């Protein structure tokens, strides 16, 4: 569900209490007894397996609600997630499962209606198979079934369990080697390690990993695919004060390999500059500054700007001089930086236009790059896949999408197609240092897309880093450049508002007509006339900043949105190959009569929320985009898993059912007080299922809108443009307990 889970959960628990108190029913002489059955499953050690709970009404009175217990061996399995099945959903029911003791999960399928359940799959339950288990099968028992019909009269019902078969690696042999490169790191850099088998694996083989020091973090395990003999993983090192050795260990059964990774503290050299700032008019110019440090201390210049050129003194040892030049500026005023060791040198140059901000220029959605073999793309925009632990540059203006050379930031949708788990992918301007932020995560190895505004770097390129091997698809829907053209658009934020919701009944938001039911049909196009919605969007809007959320009961290959009246482009807004609730931010140009078109490859419900729009800058309240180096605003995780942030931007975790204020202007990311909306990536790290998270301007009531959904738990990130509220703050509400990471790539201001 999107934005309504709190109320529904209360109703579900009331009905659970009622069913648990039912007396045993009398046995009918003629009615056949309904039965529950559990499907078996097959999976590898360390993987997950999905079991189905099916109902057969037996020709008698069909039940309207059903409850059961599942018992299992905790040494072989762990309960991960649950979801309503097709038969349960068709009857308008919900499911809730809770662990009542170790190895015992109690579930109920029930609804706020009296509709009878039909035959078929009521629910699916996901179990994790314990990594390293030596069993080849394990029993899951379906016990203590309870059922009632629509008038709350109890029914007899029977149940039968099933067996999960566990694929054990065959022919893998043992471990032959573990190596890491580089072998010595100065935190916070990382090292890429390779673990190798004595022979190729016949099946997926899970290698358990560990580190003996908290300053070197490794994943719990890594999988070697069938037919392969090695796999890589990343060791993330945190800051140390003294030299130390981290023993990295890989274990497969009785075989183990180790590697001693050296952690070296950062240099004690101190650096300063003779001046840290310089100001130029719009014309070309040049200048110098001195680097002051001790003899023997080395340094180099990192150019973070597209208009500054370092002409001499790019590196040195001890004291030195840096010379640079600044190109003439015919656009808006601009700021660039050079980084020397721990010091930043900032150049501010006047422009010939009224604002230093960037306007938005929409494009029909277009595919920039696709690294998959057979995609039809080549050169810098095609294969090969991104390798683990390495970066790759994509020169956006050289693509076939007609992006001009003066574009300074891009509105993208980046989708990963990994062969296995992907810790994170980061996008940033080429030529700048890789930031401590994540653009998206796919820890379960699924196809995941996320929107991102990424600033242009050297030659207009962007850089991507993947922690693990993956294919990547990049689509573009617009760019940001100086507002020197009549086509320039400014941003107008709005309090998050629900445009459309195609869900029916109590699950939906009460929308109707062009903005309500029915669901989207497989392979069909549906138009949404945004200016006619109840959200007050003017007809002058030329593009919309929206969050598109699908509620798919079946796998959804892709959903695409584009300007109405134009041909459907080769681009995807989101993917949900496992079904469920999946959302993504998108900037969508307006089409005929201000409408947008939506295509779904498979049947799905759709929820559309809006947080702003782009229109000509002739109206009051016009805002422009100011890019920032990607920066971590907040991280509520504690200990070694967090980012070391504290106070209003650090622990504790968000409490379920409560809101928390984040004072954005007080963060360490250099947001100016003129900022009125923020371009963010919000990532949740919940301990279990999380219905929804909503971000909105502080001082306003909680809106009916969602920023992130994670109904199956896990790490889920989503881009969001969030207007600032009282004192520039934003509020965040989580329906369930979760940690939250907030990264920023820019803001909107006059």
Instruction: Check: CB of residue 545 under 8 Å from CB of residue 613.
Output: yes
Extract the tokens encoding 51.
Answer: 């079991």
Given this model, what pLDDT does residue 332 score? 63
Q: DSSP string of 592-614?
A: GGGEEEEEESS-BEEEEEEEEEE
- Using an 8 Å Cβ cutoff, are 453 and 586 in contact? no
In order of start, what are the domains of the chain with their CATH numbers? 5-26+33-167 (2.60.40.680), 175-263 (2.60.40.10), 274-349 (2.60.40.10), 354-484 (2.60.120), 490-615 (2.60.120), 623-750 (2.60.120)
Q: What is the 3-state secondary structure (H, E, C) of 512-561?
A: CHHHCCCCECCCCEEEEEHHHCCCCCCCCCCEEEEEEEEEECCCEEEEEE
pLDDT of 195 reads 92
Give the up-direction half-sphere exposure of residue 525: CA atoms within 13 A in the CB hemisphere. Answer: 14
Q: Whats the size of the chain, residue-wise?
A: 750
Angle 4-10-16 (CA atoms, 0-180°, nearest 5)? 130
Question: Each residue of 483-512: pLDDT tens digit?
Answer: 888 788 999 999 889 999 999 887 777 888
Report helix, strand or coil for 423: strand
Q: State the chain's mean pLDDT as an integer.
A: 86
Between CA 559 and CA 446 the distance in angstroms is 16
Residues 6+ away with beta carbon under 8 Å from 118: 55, 57, 62, 87, 90, 91
pLDDT of the residue at 538: 93
Q: From the first residue on, what is the mean pLDDT of each consecutive set of 10 residues in the chain (750 residues)?
A: 37 34 37 82 82 86 90 90 90 89 90 86 90 81 88 86 71 78 82 88 85 91 84 87 88 87 80 90 88 87 90 92 88 80 84 71 91 91 92 93 92 92 91 86 88 91 94 94 87 91 82 92 94 93 92 90 91 86 90 94 93 88 90 88 84 91 92 91 91 91 87 86 92 93 92
Whole-prediction pTM: 0.54
pLDDT value at position 27? 38
DSSP category for residue 713: -
Q: Which residues contact 748 (CB under 8 A, 6 or more apart)?
A: 357, 491, 493, 623, 624, 625, 626, 675, 676, 677, 678, 679, 721
Q: What is the pLDDT of residue 625?
A: 94
User: In this predicted model, what pLDDT tens digit does every residue of 20-49 receive, in sequence order?
Assistant: 333 334 333 345 788 999 888 877 778 888
Instruction: Locate 582 and state its tokens.
Output: 């999946």
| CB neighbourhood size of 68 (10 A) | 23
Walk across the sheet containing 739-749 and list its strands.
624-635, 739-749, 677-685, 716-723
pLDDT of amino acid 99: 87
Closest by alpha carbon to 396, among 431, 422, 350, 429?
Answer: 429
């Amino acid at each position: 569900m999107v934005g309504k889970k709190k109320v529904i959960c209360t109703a579900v628990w009331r009905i659970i209490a009622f069913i648990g108190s039912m007396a045993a029913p009398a046995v009918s002489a003629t009615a056949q007894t309904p039965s529950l059955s559990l499907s078996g499953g097959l999976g590898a050690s360390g993987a997950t397996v999905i079991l189905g709970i099916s109902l057969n009404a037996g020709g008698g009175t069909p039940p309207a609600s059903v409850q059961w217990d599942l018992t299992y061996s905790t040494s072989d399995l762990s309960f991960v997630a649950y979801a309503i099945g097709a038969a349960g959903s068709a009857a308008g029911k919900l499911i809730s499962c809770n662990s009542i003791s170790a190895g015992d999960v109690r579930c109920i399928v029930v609804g706020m209606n009296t509709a009878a359940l039909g035959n078929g799959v009521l629910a699916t339950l996901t179990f994790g198979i314990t990594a390293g288990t030596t069993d080849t099968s394990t029993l899951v028992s379906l016990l203590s079934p309870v059922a009632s019909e629509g008038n709350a009269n109890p029914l007899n019902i029977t149940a039968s369990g099933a067996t999960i078969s566990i694929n054990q690696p065959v022919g893998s042999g043992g471990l032959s080697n573990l190596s890491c490169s580089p072998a010595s790191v100065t935190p916070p850099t990382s090292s890429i390690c390779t673990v190798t088998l004595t022979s190729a694996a016949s099946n997926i083989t899970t290698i358990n990993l560990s580190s003996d020091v908290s300053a070197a973090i490794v994943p719990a395990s890594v999988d070697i695919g069938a037919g392969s003999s090695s796999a890589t993983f990343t060791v993330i090192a945190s800051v140390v004060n003294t030299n130390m050795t981290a023993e990295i260990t890989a274990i497969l059964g009785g075989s183990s390999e180790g590697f001693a990774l050296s952690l070296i503290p950062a240099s004690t050299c101190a650096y300063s500059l003779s001046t840290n700032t310089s100001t130029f008019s719009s014309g070309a110019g040049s200048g110098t500054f001195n680097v002051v440090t001790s003899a023997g201390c080395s340094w180099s210049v990192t150019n973070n700007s597209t208009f500054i050129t370092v002409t001499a003194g790019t590196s040195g040892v001890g004291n030195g001089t840096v010379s640079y030049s600044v190109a003439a500026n015919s656009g808006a005023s601009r700021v660039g930086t050079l980084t020397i060791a721990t010091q930043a040198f900032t150049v501010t140059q006047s422009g010939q236009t009224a604002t230093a901000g960037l306007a938005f220029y929409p494009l029909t959605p277009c595919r920039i790059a696709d690294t998959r073999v057979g995609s039809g793309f080549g050169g810098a925009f095609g294969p090969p896949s991104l390798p683990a632990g390495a970066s790759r540059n994509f020169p956006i203006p050289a693509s076939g999408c007609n992006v001009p050379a003066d574009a300074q930031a891009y509105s993208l949708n980046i989708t990963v197609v990994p062969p296995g788990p992907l810790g994170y992918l980061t996008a940033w301007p080429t030529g700048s240092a890789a930031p401590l932020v994540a653009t998206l995560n796919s820890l379960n190895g699924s196809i995941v897309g996320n929107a991102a505004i990424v600033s242009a770097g050297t030659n207009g390129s962007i850089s991507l880093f993947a922690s693990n091997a993956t294919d990547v698809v990049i689509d573009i829907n617009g760019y940001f450049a100086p507002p020197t053209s009549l086509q320039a658009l400014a941003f107008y934020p709005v309090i998050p508002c629900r445009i459309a919701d195609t869900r029916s009944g109590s699950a939906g938001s009460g929308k109707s007509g062009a903005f309500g039911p029915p669901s989207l049909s497989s392979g069909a196009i549906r138009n949404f006339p945004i200016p006619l919605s109840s959200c007050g969007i003017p007809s002058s809007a030329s593009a919309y900043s929206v969050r598109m959320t699908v509620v798919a009961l079946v796998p959804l290959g892709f959903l695409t949105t584009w300007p109405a009246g134009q041909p459907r482009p080769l681009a995807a807004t989101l993917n949900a190959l496992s079904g469920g609730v999946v959302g993504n931010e998108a900037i969508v140009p307006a089409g005929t009569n201000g409408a947008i078109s939506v295509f779904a490859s498979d049947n799905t419900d759709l929820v559309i929320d809006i947080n702003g729009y782009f229109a000509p800058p002739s109206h009051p309240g016009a805002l422009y985009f100011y890019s920032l180096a990607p920066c971590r605003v907040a991280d509520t995780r504690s200990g070694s898993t967090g980012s070391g942030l504290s106070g209003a931007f650090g622990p504790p975790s968000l409490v379920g059912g409560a809101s928390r204020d984040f004072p954005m202007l007080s963060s360490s990311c250099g947001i100016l007080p003129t900022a009125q909306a923020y371009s963010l990536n919000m990532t949740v790290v919940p301990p279990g299922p999380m219905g929804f998270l909503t971000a909105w301007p502080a001082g306003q009531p909680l809106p009916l809108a969602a920023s992130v959904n994670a109904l199956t738990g896990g790490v889920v990130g989503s881009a969001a443009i969030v207007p600032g509220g009282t004192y520039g703050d934003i509020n965040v509400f989580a329906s369930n307990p979760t940690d939250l990471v907030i990264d920023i790539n820019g803001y909107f201001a006059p």
